[in-house]
Amino acid sequence: MTSPHRVRVRVYYEDTDFSGLVYHASYLRFMERGRTELLRDLGLAQSALLAGAAGTPLFFVVRAMDIDFRRPATMDDLLEIETTVAAIGGASVDMAQAVVRNGETLVAAKVRVVCVENGKARRLPSDVRERFEQAPRSV
């Protein structure tokens, strides 16, 4: 895959603050949906991973996030959440994400997720690593 993975999200009243603009924490939920759908499209459904599909129950947690809020979104906007894989480490995956409206990036983020088993970081299983290697990559 060469183009970013994309998920569409509509902004609802519940996503906004008293000013009618999207509340900053709502962007975290939008980006979580983008990462979750990327995993699902790679054949890595989080519920299956937690149930042991990779040999042992595991899941991903956000370890670090760097966010640049550039412009606000408003109620009823149709947004696209773009996600690419920037780097694959031993136990982590770095992703680049953007919240886009009509081709304009409103929010950009760098996200590091870590593979966790029994409450501790663990190396990515080889089959999981192979799936991430098939993901859209950051240029």
pLDDT in tens, 54-65: 889 999 999 999
Domain 5-133 has CATH 3.10.129.10: yes
Considering the candidates 15, 17, 41, 77, report the single residue annotated as catalytic.
17
Copy the structure tokens of residue 117.
Answer: 């088993």
Q: Is 127 helix (H, G, I), strand (E, B) or coil?
A: helix
Is 41 a known active-site residue? Answer: no
Query: Which of 40-75 are b and which e, b meaning 16 or more Cβ less than 10 Å from the residue's Cβ?
Result: ebbebeeeebeeebbeeebebeeeeeebeeeebbee
Question: 59 with 43: CB under 8 angstroms?
Answer: no
Query: Is the entire prediction scored with pTM above 0.85?
Result: yes
The model's pLDDT over 17-71, given as tens digits with 9 standing for 90+, comes to 999 999 999 999 999 999 999 999 999 999 999 999 988 999 999 999 999 999 9
Please report, for the chain, the start and end positions of each structural domain, with discontinuous segments joined by +: 5-133
In angstroms, the CA 16 to CA 10 distance is 12
